[in-house]
Structure 1
Amino acid sequence: MARRLRPVDLGFVATAPVRLVFAREISASPERVFHALADDVPGWPQWFSAVKLARVTDGGAGREIRLRGGTRFEETVLVAKEPEVYAYRVDTTNAPGARALVEEWRLAPRGTGTRVQWTFAADGTAPFRAVLGLARPGLGRAFRDAVTSLDRRVGAL
């Protein structure tokens, strides 16, 4: 059953009780990476293997995401500043114990490529926070694999 989460703003990324931050440098330009993140939302399953379905809602102001395994998110885009940052807040989810969640993608030029930084900022029940701590290595691998796949995908365009 989907539950409504606390509506937080972008400042939550800096203050969340749980902040998982991952970064990787890739060869694709920030503009191409931003386009894949913000403009080609339906393309996410092609490079992020955990994502089963991604679609734009509310004329681009929102997103619907379904993960493999059944977790679902309805999100609001908080910022889409090309080519620097793309962030969204989860409004409703079926993930047990979640109370607030924001994901932020920061892009910075590195030579001819991009440094991609993903911050997963969350609050929830004590068991939810503990599970996120335990899931950190897996989320790090998922990020690394996704960004590597994204680099191959957008580098080929």
Structure 2
Amino acid sequence: MARRLRPVGLDFIDDAPVRLVFATETTAPPEAVYQALAEEVEGWPRWFRAVTLARPTHGGAGREVRLMGGVRFQETIMAADPEQRYAYRVDTTNAPGVRALLEEWRLTPAGSGTHVRWTFAADGSAPFRLGLTAARPGLGHSFRTAVRTLDGRLTGRRGADR
């Protein structure tokens, strides 16, 4: 059963009780990475393995996302700054224990590629916060694998879809 979460603003990225921050580099330029994140939402399952469905809603102002294991999110886009930042807040989810969730992808030019930083900001019950903190290594691995796969797709490297 989906539950409505507490609406939070972009400042939650800095103020959340749990903040998980991951970063990596791509060889693809920021404009290509941003396009894949913000403009080609339906393509997320091709490069982010945990995502089974992603589609824009409300004329692009929101998203519906489904993950492996059956977790579902209805989201509101909070920031869409071309080639710099893409952020979204989860409004409803069926995930237990979560009270507020905001994710931000920051893109910074790095040589001919992009430095990608993903911040996962959350609040929830004590068991949720503890579980999320324990899941940090797995989330980091998932993020790095997804960005590596995306980079391969964007730069046309062979074997990028493995």
Q: Report the Cα offset of residue 121 of structure 1.
A: 0.2
Q: Which runs of 5 or more residues in structure 1 are unaligned? A: none
| Deviation by residue 1:114-152 (Cα, 9 ceiling, x = unmatched) | 000000000000000000011000000000100000101
Is 1:7 the equivalent of 2:4?
A: no
Partner of 2:108: 108
Match of 2:53 in 1: 53
Q: Which residue is equivalent to 1:144?
A: 144
SS of equivalent residue, structure 1 residue 100: strand
Gaps of 5+ in 2: 158-162
Percent identity at matched positions?
A: 66
- Residues 28-71 of structure 1: CA deviation (Å, up to 9, x unaligned): 00000000000000000000000000000000000000001100
Distance 1:131 1:154 in 2: 33
User: How far apart are the structure 1 equivalents of 2:135 and 2:110?
Assistant: 29
- In the aligned structure 2, how far is the partner of 1:139 from the partner of 1:32? 23
TM-score computed with the length of structure 1 as normaliser: 0.99
1:86 aligns with 2:86: yes
TM-score of the two chains, using structure 2 as the length reference: 0.96
CA distance in 1, matches of 2:73, 2:115: 26
Match of 2:133 in 1: 133
Aligned to 1:74: 74
Structure 2 counterpart of 1:18: 18
Query: Which 4+ runs in 1 deviate beyond 4 A?
Result: none
Letter paired with 2:28 = A
Aligned residue pair count: 157
Map of 1:99 onto structure 2: 99
Report the Cα offset of residue 7 of structure 1.
Answer: 0.3
